[in-house]
Amino acid sequence: MNARVDPQLLSRVSNRHLDALEEEAIFVLREVAAAFERPALLFSGGKDSLVLLKCAEKAFGSGRLPYPLLMIDTGHNFPEVTAFRDRRAKELGAELVVRSVEDSMRRGTVRLAYPGESRNAHQSVTLLEAIEEFRFDALIGGARRDEEKARAKERVFSHRDSFGQWQPKSQRPELWTLFNTRLQPGEHFRVFPISNWTELDVWQYIEREAVELPSLYYAHRREVVERRGLLVPVTELTPPRDGEEVVTRTVRFRTVGDITCTCPVASTAASAADVVAETIAADVSERGATRMDDKTSDASMEKRKKDGYF
Amino acid sequence: MMDAVVSSEVGVDPGLRRDDEASRGDAALRFITCGSVDDGKSTLIGRLLVDSKAVLQDQLAGVHRAGAVDLALLTDGLSAEREQGITIDVAYRYFASPRRKFVIGDTPGHVQYTRNMVTAASGADAAVVLVDATKLQWRDAQPALLPQTRRHALLVDLLRVPSIVFAINKLDAVEDPALAYRHIAGALAAFSHAAGIQPRAVVPLSALQGFNVVQPAAGWAGYVGPSLLQLLETLPATTAEADQGFAFPVQWVEKFSESAETAQGRRVFWGRVATGTVQPGDAVRVMPSGQAAVVAQVLDAVRRPTRGIAGHSAGIVLDREVDISRGDWLLAHDAPAAVREVTGTVAWLDDEPLVAGRTYWALHGHRWVKARVQRVVHQLDVQTLAEQEAEALPPNGIGVVKLVLQEPLATRPFAKARVPGSLVLVDTATHRTSGALLVR
């Protein structure tokens, strides 16, 4: 997806609308701090959660984050991202809570259908266990409505029942910015301060604010195989199948999730400005280009969200 | 048409079209589509997205049903919606024309999901109320409109959405589009007049064929004017109520001792300025305590010194120690007194009826108080606009109620001041958001 954008045209793409998006995110982040007793911010080390963290730094002042960071570790994360996550949390002086799917597997609460199964969907179980352990009443996440059709339906303050389930048919009306944050025991909220941002907004913000990202987001050489139109990274967890040819390509990741279901795209973008240009020229959506697990069924995201997925 | 879009080279232009608005400094326009079920709202949005080339290849690939392209599938993202071919909840979509950036709220038409339509309308700059020409007796000089068309237009007007546009859809499917357009537009004008609504325009269109949606279809159906998109490009964003007296609901109190930005020993009151403006030196009053103070410093959302203006976040530091918590309001020193009784128009959103005598939670700014429904003044008949006597308001009913509050609130009429004039009512047992109340 090399950019074919004339730099002169690109300079006309303003980023002034980012002020309003940032202000909305800060308003929501403060609302969570004020309205809930035990909130946490979901932090994966990915670009959306790093943008969220940047807004939180502005909302509360550097080093004064009023809630812990929570990471649900599938054990299948890219090592660059995990290292980055730990370093950023330390720099911010934030409390970082990590709970792992492997621990849930040891407890027997997660059982894989087969040994190589993606653990991405199983994160929900570990997440709900963490919510119960810490009695979290609000979890802030970096999901955006432009990512996917089920996400496009979600409220900014999304109510979850005592099973952690999203009930799309009976979401609470959300009028103006009068957020009804009342909970029954055992229930919680998922809160999405950057709901109204698009992938392009996120990259423009990363560029404007010089938000540091894991190196995977920028062009690098990587061994991949081509499978059903996707570039599948060759790793210990995702070895080539019989007959597949391993090739080295210059790629970057548009999202960094679980290794077993995240694919890079061909790209030479070496900076946030390059990525902004590529995103403007993109003809395939972020998830369409990169996620193996969303393709199984049109409603797969909705189903996972009903089961408690972020 | 669809094939052409899929196979056309997607390079510079579509992307720049998606974001070029900002270079002109216009605010994004947030608009909703509403109207009765099957009026073609989701198809209209699909048409807007496809014809303005805001749809990416993988998303277009997923919009086939029974072998044919179905634009509604671009927005109906829930499996229950796909099963039934209806929209249940709001879907938000983002796109841009060469002139402007847009956020669309695609809202449901079914009466039982009116609450979701109201959710989207509360944050909208404009509403496109769709009317399905094929469902009306369009040969009549003034065909009767569907109840949902009336309900949605009334609600949108009640919520002070700045622009209402009627779009008469499916005119490609009637024998005489010009006659149908003229008659239905006449009925809409009569209804609008009776309801006190001032629509911006009545546009004939075919979402299925793409007439007058993005491309104008000059002279078609006897209409000469801008396409729907051209019209939307010119509509104003909601204006902040900066000309009203200062009102500021306190969202979060930052206690600090080590902060470098402000003097030792003070606190910053964060929130969004509801109405008016604030700057250092202004005298303010705290509600409900009634204490007086003077503003020492105003910070913007990211802690730079500034003056606060309606619609924007601010952090306010006062000149003296005053007991202020989340939920309190800072008001202009000469603001009207807070009140214990409120009369307002209610849009009832719960599946359970609103019952006179019951107590609900009311949320006003960031303040929660108990509110008892003293009486239902009347219920509005959406068909005739008559005010009927009622003891209760049914689900999706609109009416006027009188509330008695546990503690005084600094309300203003919603017609003048949106934030001080709006409350939501929450069921004390189920915690559901049950109603929207607009202060009279």
**What does pLDDT average to over chain B?**
87
Instruction: Please choose, from the candidates B37, B48, B32, B40, the residue with its C-alpha nearest in 3D space to the C-alpha of residue B168.
Output: B40
How far B66 CA sits from the closest chain A CA (Å)? 15
Average pLDDT for residues B247-256, to the nearest whole number? 92
Q: What residues does B127 pair with on adjacent strands?
A: B32, B164
Which residues of A, range 129-168, sit inside 8 Å of B by Cβ?
145-146, 148-150, 152-153, 155, 168
- Cross-chain residue pair A150–B349, CB shorter than 8 Å: no
Instruction: Name the residue in chain A with its Cα closest to that of B427.
Output: A182
Q: Does B366 touch chain A (CB under 8 A)?
A: yes
What tokens appear for B11 in the block?
Answer: 């390079």
> Residue B79 is nearest to which of A5, A279, A302, comparing CB atoms?
A302
- Look at B432 and A172 and tell me if their CB atoms are within 8 Å: yes
- Give the pair of three-digit tokens for residue B125: 């700059």
- Given B19, B56, B431, which is nearest A288 (Cβ)? B56
Q: Is the predicted pLDDT of residue B383 greater than 50, yes or no?
A: yes
Q: Is the pLDDT of residue A77 over 50?
A: yes
Tell me the two tokens of residue A30: 């403060």
Higher-pLDDT residue of B41 and A282 is B41
- A19: closest chain B residue by CA: B301
Position B269 pLDDT exceeds 80: yes
Residue with the larger pLDDT of the pair A212 and B111: A212
pLDDT, residue A89, reads: 92
Give the one of A148, A168, A284 whose C-beta lies nearest to B89's C-beta: A168
The H or E element containing residue B41 is helix B41-51
Q: What is the mean pLDDT of residues B392-417?
A: 96
**Residue in chain A lying closest to B432 (CA):** A172
Highest-pLDDT range among A103-107, B98-102, B279-283: B279-283
Cβ–Cβ gap A196/B92 under 8 Å = yes
Q: Which helix (H) or strand (E) holds B128?
A: strand B126-132
Instruction: Give yes or no for residue B194 having a pLDDT over 50.
Output: yes
The DSSP letter of residue B125 is: S
- Do A149 and B103 make contact, defined as CB atoms within 8 angstroms? no
Name the CA dihedral angle for B74, B75, B81, B82, rounded to a multiple of 10 degrees. 0
Beta strands in B210-266 (DSSP E): 247-249, 252-255
Q: What integer pLDDT is reported at residue B19 of this predicted model?
A: 37
Among A4, A148, A153, beta carbon nearest to B12: A4
pLDDT of residue B16: 34
Q: Are B279 and B242 in contact (CB under 8 A)?
A: no
Amino acid at B48: L
Tell me, what's the pLDDT at A292? 57
pLDDT tens digits for range B410-428 = 999 999 999 999 999 999 9
Question: What pLDDT was estimated at residue A286?
Answer: 67
B22 pLDDT above the threshold of 50: no
Q: Which member of A5, A150, A279 has the closest CB to residue B78?
A: A150
Question: Residue B316 pairs with which residues in a beta bridge?
Answer: B269, B298
Instruction: Check residue B430 and report its DSSP letter.
Output: T
| The residue count for chain A | 310
Higher per-residue confidence, A140 vs B302: A140
pLDDT in tens, B143-166: 999 998 998 999 999 999 999 999
Q: Are A62 and B261 in contact (CB under 8 A)?
A: no
CB-based contact, B297 to chain A, within 8 Å: no
Q: What is the pLDDT of residue B101?
A: 85
Query: What is the distance between the alpha carbons of residues B367 and B424, in angstroms, rounded to a whole number?
Result: 11
Nearest-Cα residue of chain A relative to residue B10: A283
Confidence of residue B318 (pLDDT cuts 50, 70, 90): very high
Beta strands B433-439; B422-426: pairing state:
antiparallel
Interface test with A, best of B87, B252, B360, B422 (most A CBs within 10 A): B252
A303 with B79: Cβ contact below 8 A: yes
Rg of chain A (C-alpha set): 19
B339 touching A, CB under 8 A?
Answer: no
Dist CA B302 CA A57 (whole Å): 9
For chain A positions 167-196, those within 8 Å of chain B (CB to CB) are 168-169, 171-178, 180, 182-184, 195-196
B44 has pLDDT over 50: yes
Q: Which residue of B has its CA nearest to A66?
A: B254
In chain B, what residues touch A174 (CB-CB under 8 Å)? 119, 122, 433
Residue A21 half-sphere exposure toward CB, CA atoms < 13 A: 24
Band (A47; pLDDT cuts 50, 70, 90) = very high
| Statement: residue A118 has pLDDT above 70 | yes
Query: What phi and psi, each to the nearest 5 degrees, are found at residue A266?
Result: -65, 130
DSSP secondary structure string, chain A?
------HHHHTT---TTHHHHHHHHHHHHHHHHHH-SSEEEE--SSHHHHHHHHHHHHHH-TT--SS-EEEEE-S---HHHHHHHHHHHHHHT--EEEEEHHHHHHHTS---SSTT--STTTHHHHHHHHHHHHT-SEEE----TTS-TTGGG--SEEEE-TT----GGGPPP--TT-------TT-EEEE-TTTT--HHHHHHHHHHHT----GGGS-EEEEEEEETTEEEE--SSSPPPTTPPPEEEEEEES----GGGB-EEE----SHHHHHHHHHH--S-HHHHHBSGGGS-TTHHHHHHHTT--
Residue whose pair of structure tokens reads 């080339």 in the numeric block = B53
Distances (CA, A) of B87 to B33, B79, B103, B114, B216: 12, 10, 18, 11, 27
* Beta-ladder partners of B164: B127
Encode pLDDT of A265-308 as tens digits. Answer: 999 999 999 999 888 877 666 666 565 554 444 456 666 666 66
Q: What's the pTM value of the predicted model, to 2 decimals?
A: 0.90
Interface residue B68 vs chain A (CB under 8 A): no
Q: What is the mean pLDDT of residues B302-317?
A: 94
**In angstroms, rounded to a whole number, what is the distance separating the alpha carbons of residues B89 and A302?**
13
Q: Which of B171, B142, B143, B167 is nearest to B153 (CA)?
A: B167
Tokens (6 digits) for A246: 């391993």
At A10, the pLDDT band (50, 70, 90 cuts) reads very low
pLDDT of residue B260: 52
Strand, coil or helix: B50 = helix
Rounded to 10 degrees, the C-alpha dihedral B189/B193/B199/B201 comes to 20
pLDDT digits (tens, 9 = 90+) for B76-89: 666 666 666 666 77
Residue B9 pLDDT greater than 70, yes or no: no
With cut-offs at 50, 70 and 90, classify the pLDDT of residue B3. Answer: very low
pLDDT band at A7 (very low <50, low <70, confident <90, very high): very low
| A203 φ/ψ sector (left φ>0, alpha ψ -120 to 50, else beta) | alpha
> Where are the alpha helices (H) located in B142-225, listed in sequence order?
147-158, 177-195
The C-alpha atoms of residue B173 and residue A238 are separated, in whole angstroms, by 53
- Are B397 and B387 in contact by the 8 Å Cβ rule? The answer is no
pLDDT of residue A14: 63
Where is average pLDDT lowest: B115-119, B218-222, B351-355?
B115-119
Q: Specify the pLDDT at position A117.
A: 79
CA dihedral sign of residues B250, B256, B262, B265: positive
pLDDT value at residue A27? 97
Q: Quick one: average pLDDT of A76-98?
A: 92
Model confidence at A5, in pLDDT bands (50, 70, 90)? very low
Give pLDDT, residue B80.
Answer: 66
Instruction: Please compute the mean of the pLDDT values over residues B23-46 and round it to a whole number.
Output: 78
Q: What pLDDT does residue B418 have?
A: 96
Average per-residue pLDDT for chain A: 87
Q: Helix, strand, or coil here: B23? A: helix
Q: If you average pLDDT over residues B129-140, what whole number do you get?
A: 96
Q: How far is CA B115 from the centre of its chain?
A: 12
B288 prior amide bond cis, ω within 30: yes
What the block records as the tokens of A39 is 């909130």
Which residues of chain A does B104 touch, with a Cβ-Cβ cutoff of 8 Å?
A: none
In A, which residues are within 8 Å of B431 by CB distance? 180, 182-184
Q: In the predicted model, what is the mean pLDDT of residues A66-87? A: 92
Q: How many CA atoms lie within 13 A of A211 on its CB side?
A: 24
Highest averaged pLDDT of the listed ranges A197-201, B113-117, B289-293: B289-293
pLDDT for res B259 = 52
Contact B119, B38 (CB under 8 A): no
Query: Do the Cβ atoms of A302 and B366 come within 8 Å?
Result: no
- When CB atoms are compared, the residue of A26, A172, A184 closest to B301 is A26
Q: Which pLDDT score, from 0 to 100, does residue B13 have?
A: 33
Provide the 8-state DSSP code for B357. T
The more confidently predicted of residues A307 and A171 is A171
- Kindly state whether B13 is in contact with chain A, defined as any CB-CB distance less than 8 angstroms: no
Give per-residue pLDDT as tens, A229-256.
889 999 888 899 999 999 999 999 988 8
